[in-house]
Amino acid sequence: MKNTVTTAVPGRQEPLVFELSRPGKVGFSLPEVSGPEPSSGVEEELVREEMPEGFPELSETEVVRHFTRLSRLNYAIDQGMFPLGSCTMKHNPRINERTARLPGLSKIHPFQPESSVGGALEVMLELEQALCAITGMDACSLQPAAGAHGELTGMLVIRKRLLDKGDERRTVLVPDSAHGTNPASCILCGLEPEDVRSGPDGRIDFDAFAERVSRGDVAALMLTNPNTLGIFEERIAEVCALMHEHGGYVYGDGANLNAMLGLTRPGDQGIDVIHLNLHKTFTTPHGGGGPGSGPVAVKEELAPYLPVPRVVQGDDGKLSLTEDFPKSVGRVNGFHGNFGMMVRALTYIREMGAAGLRQAAQDAILNANYLRHQLSKVLDLPYQSPTMHEVVFSDRSLEKRSGVTTMDLAKRLMDYGFHPPTVYFPLIVHGALMTEPTETESRSELDAFVEAVKSVCHEAAEDPETVTSAPWNTPLRRLDEVRANRQLKLRWQPDAGDGE
């Protein structure tokens, strides 16, 4: 079917902005340029002769319509449930957007005199204190711009602390169920990640862990709690104590903090360093993939190693940013961190208060257990351990019975108006369906989701092709990812015809 340049209606193409472009159009009015061209003294060879070929030229109306139509091709939390495990797709409060856009909190420059940004520094300090209170930690850096960035920062802190003590060990144990960013971040610190396996109950295999650590060469353990199966590591206090006994540290991946808010604290569990995902637990928006924000909180012993600059309060109560921390790992960010996300997260924390946050965690756990109870009737539940805020199912029986896989199930769920759960993660589960409803969902939304899953499982038995060729009702049918990898087309070109 040939591509046609048409307006986007369900089932039809929205052209690229370059394809809508017509010479001479402009969409933004700027003041007139007057007077002679200044002589900058720059060499002619460095100056553009003309704007790039194919650079867009559209009117404001056309740009507004194009992106409005594009937006309507997306599914988003604003429309319905998004049970993506490990992502904590909870509602993004509109008030966050209002506070973050206040001119006094958005039109401020990172290098303004400190006396002119006292309010901004207070936002940062207040957030640091709140995050420490929530996690049971002693100090915090808001610099990392994303979760993975926070992980790297946390591991740099651990590495530097160890080297400071003359300890050159490099082995870091990482559960086989861990997020890929964990081992990837280790490599960047010159550390050597090594898998530690999970037991049949889904938790870290304590004996295997203890044996490995007893060899004396393990510098740290990276752990997510609850883990990526949504299971609480019951022996975490023992695990941390054992790691500490051998002079090592425990890094907590805070992606699953939503299960712990107000109920338990990583600091009390023995965790030394934790990163937080403001875009998960703390409702800063996912924005189609970012920006995130990944603050790192640490125990007192590790505080001197946090990145600089840090917000400090003088004896006179005045706040300032300082780099005067000689043991710091250095800078990880060009500026102070994603301030716009700090405002949003603080707004959420101030809106919820202690009781609200605890209620959120409880509701998240309740909702996940409800889904577990209902969906384990139609899907395999590989681990029987108690569920916290997310639950992982497997497609093993489904596939055996009908040939329908997790991928097919996910695609067919979209026809029912739901974003599917996270698929194929964690790797230790066959056809994993990692399901995290969050506290946002009401019982009726959960019931609708359960009905949809049951329906798809029924279709898998009665009419598998409906499922294996899904989706049918989305703006586009199943997309060929193999072809995208093989025939790389990563940008629009002016002279390329687009009837591929």
Partner 1 sequence: MLEAIGASGMAELLSAIPEPLRLRGDLDLPPALSEPELLARFRELGARNASAEECDCFLGAGAYNHAQSTSVDALISRGEFFTSYTPYQPEISQGTLQSIYEFQTLVCQLTGLEVSQASLYQGAMAFVEGMLLASRLQKKRRRLLAADSWHPHYLGALRTYLEYLDIELDLVPSDPATGRIDEQALASRLGDDVAAVAVQSPNFFGVVERLDRAAEAAHGAGALLVAGFSEPYSLGWLKGPGELGADIAVGEFQAFAAPPSFGGPYVGVLAAKRNMVRQLPGRIAGETVDADGRRGFVLTLSTREQHIRRSKATSNVCTNSGLMMLAATIQLSLLGKQGLQRASQLCRRHAHHALERLASIEGVQRVHSGPVFNEFVLELPRPAGEVAGALAERGILAPVPMSLFEEQRERQGLFAFTELTGPPAIERLESALREVL
Strand partners, 391: 435
Cβ(314)–Cβ(321) under 8 Å?
no
Q: Is residue 324 within the footprint of partner 1 (CB under 8 A)?
A: no
Footprint on residues 118-137 left by partner 1 (CB under 8 A): 118-120, 122-123, 130, 133-134
| Beta carbon of residue 346, minimum distance to partner 1 (angstroms, whole number) | 8
Q: Is residue 360 within the footprint of partner 1 (CB under 8 A)?
A: no
Among 161, 275, 310, 419, binds partner 1 (CB under 8 A): 419
| Beta carbon of residue 407, minimum distance to partner 1 (angstroms, whole number) | 10
> Nearest to residue 474, comparing CAs of 157, 72, 203, 94?
72
Q: Is residue 92 within the footprint of partner 1 (CB under 8 A)?
A: yes
Whose Cβ is closer to partner 1: residue 105's or residue 401's?
A: 105
Among 196, 223, 274, 343, binds partner 1 (CB under 8 A): 343
Backbone angles phi, psi at 117, to 5 degrees: -135, 35
Residue with tokens 């996300």: 341
Cβ(434)–Cβ(82) under 8 Å?
no
Q: Is residue 98 within the footprint of partner 1 (CB under 8 A)?
A: yes
Total residue count of the chain as it appears in this document: 500
Q: Is residue 14 within the footprint of partner 1 (CB under 8 A)?
A: yes
Whose Cβ is closer to partner 1: residue 248's or residue 266's?
A: 266
Q: How far apart (Å, rounded) are the C-alpha atoms in residues 409 and 99? A: 40
| Beta carbon of residue 318, minimum distance to partner 1 (angstroms, whole number) | 12
> Nearest to residue 175, comparing CAs of 136, 216, 231, 217?
231
Among 41, 166, 326, 497, binds partner 1 (CB under 8 A): 41
| Beta carbon of residue 480, minimum distance to partner 1 (angstroms, whole number) | 5
Q: Which two tokens stand for residue 431?
A: 């056809």
> Nearest to residue 79, comparing CAs of 371, 344, 418?
418
Q: How far apart (Å, rounded) are the C-alpha atoms in residues 409 and 119? A: 49
Letters for 384-403 (x = contact with partner 1 by CB under 8 A, - = none) are: -xx-x---------------
| Beta carbon of residue 367, minimum distance to partner 1 (angstroms, whole number) | 8
Contact region for partner 1 (CB under 8 A) — 35-43, 244-252, 396-404, 454-462?
A: 35-43
Q: Is residue 115 within the footprint of partner 1 (CB under 8 A)?
A: yes
3-class SS at 35? coil
Whose Cβ is closer to partner 1: residue 59's or residue 455's?
A: 59
> Nearest to residue 292, comparing CAs of 257, 260, 337?
337
| Beta carbon of residue 20, minimum distance to partner 1 (angstroms, whole number) | 9
What lies within 8 Å, CB to CB, of 121 at 6+ separation is 114, 311, 319, 320, 321
Q: Which two tokens stand for residue 156?
A: 């740099």
Footprint on residues 278-307 left by partner 1 (CB under 8 A): 279, 285-293, 307
Footprint on residues 431-470 left by partner 1 (CB under 8 A): 443, 469
Q: Is residue 420 within the footprint of partner 1 (CB under 8 A)?
A: yes
